[in-house]
Amino acid sequence: MSTTTAQRGDEGLSAPTRMLLFSPLGSTDVVRAVVGRMRAAIGMGLLPDGERLPKESELAQQLGVTTFALREALANLREEGLIVTRAGKNGGSFVTYPADSEQLEHDRLVELPAAELRDIGDWRQMLAAHAAALAAQRASDSNVRMLQDLASGVGKAQTSLEARRMHGRFLLELASAGQSPRMTRAEFAVHEQIDWLFGLALHEPEERAAAAGRLEELAVSVRGRNPGKARLGAERHVAAMVARLAQLRLVEIASRKHKTPSAGQSMSDAVREMVDSLIEQLRAFASDVGPILVGAETHASARSRVSLAALGRFDQMPDYVQGMGVLAEVGVVPDRPYWIEWWQRTEAGPVEDNHHVLDPDREDFYDYSTREYMQRPRVTGAPWAQGPYVDSGGVDDFVLTVAVPIVVGDRFLGVSCADVLVAAVESRLSPWLAEDEEAFLINDEGRVIVSNSMTAGVGDLLVPQAGATLSEFPSVAWRLVTQGRDADAIG
C-alpha distances (whole Å) from 158 to each of 97, 155, 207 are: 17, 9, 12
According to CATH, the topology of domain 101-255 is Four Helix Bundle (Hemerythrin (Met), subunit A) (1.20.120)
DSSP 55-67: PHHHHHHHHT--H
HSE-up (13 A, CA, CB side) for residue 423:
16
Within the chain, what is the greatest distance between any pair of CA atoms?
86
Q: Helix, strand or coil for residue 2?
A: coil
Contact 34, 25 (CB under 8 A): yes
Give the residue from 171, 239, 335, 268 showing the smallest Cα distance to 479: 268
Q: How many residues does the chain have?
A: 491
Distance CA 306, CA 293 (A): 9
Distance CA 394, CA 111 (A): 19
What is the per-residue pLDDT for 2? 38
The radius of gyration of the chain from alpha carbons, rounded to an integer in Å, stands at 27
Distance CA 322, CA 336 (A): 26
Q: Phi, psi (5° rounding) for residue 28?
A: -75, -35
**Tens of each residue's pLDDT in the chain, 491 residues:** 334 444 444 445 555 555 555 555 555 578 888 887 787 777 767 787 888 898 888 988 888 889 999 999 999 888 888 889 888 777 888 988 766 667 778 888 888 888 889 889 999 999 999 999 999 999 999 999 999 999 999 999 999 988 998 999 999 899 999 988 888 888 877 877 888 889 999 999 999 999 999 999 999 999 999 999 999 999 999 999 999 999 899 888 888 765 566 667 899 999 999 999 999 999 999 999 999 999 887 888 888 888 888 888 888 888 889 999 999 999 999 888 999 999 999 888 889 988 889 999 999 899 999 999 999 999 999 999 999 988 755 555 789 999 999 999 999 999 999 999 998 899 889 889 888 789 999 999 999 999 998 888 899 999 888 889 999 999 999 999 998 765 444 33
Q: What's the sign of the alpha-carbon dihedral 197, 201, 205, 210?
A: negative
Q: Which pTM was predicted?
A: 0.72
Q: CATH 1.10.10.10 residue ranges in the chain?
A: 5-95
Contact 444, 477 (CB under 8 A): yes
What is the per-residue pLDDT for 415? 97
Burial class (CB in 10 A: 0-12, 13-18, 19+), 92: middle
Sequence-ordered alpha helix ranges (H) in 394-434: 422-433
Residue 27 neighbours by CB distance under 10 Å = 17
Q: CATH 3.30.450.20 residue ranges in the chain?
A: 262-491
CA 312, distance to chain mean position in Å, is: 34
HSE-up (13 A, CA, CB side) for residue 198:
33
Q: What CATH number labels 262-491?
A: 3.30.450.20
Q: Which residues contact 70 (CB under 8 A, 6 or more apart)?
A: 34, 56, 59, 60, 63
Q: Helix, strand or coil for residue 14?
A: coil
What is the per-residue pLDDT for 290? 94
Q: CATH 1.20.120.530 residue ranges in the chain?
A: 101-255
Distance CA 191, CA 251 (A): 23
Q: What is the 3-state secondary structure (H, E, C) of 287-303?
A: HHHHHHHHCCCCHHHHH
What angle is formed at CA 431 by the lines to CA 427 and CA 434, rounded to 5 degrees?
95
What is the per-residue pLDDT for 455? 84
Q: Which residues contact 55 (CB under 8 A, 6 or more apart)?
A: 92
Contact 129, 181 (CB under 8 A): no
Q: Is the peptide bond before 388 cis (omega within 30 degrees of 0)?
A: yes
Contact 252, 106 (CB under 8 A): yes
What is the per-residue pLDDT for 274? 93
Q: Does domain 5-95 have CATH number 1.10.10.10?
A: yes
Distance CA 132, CA 227 (A): 7
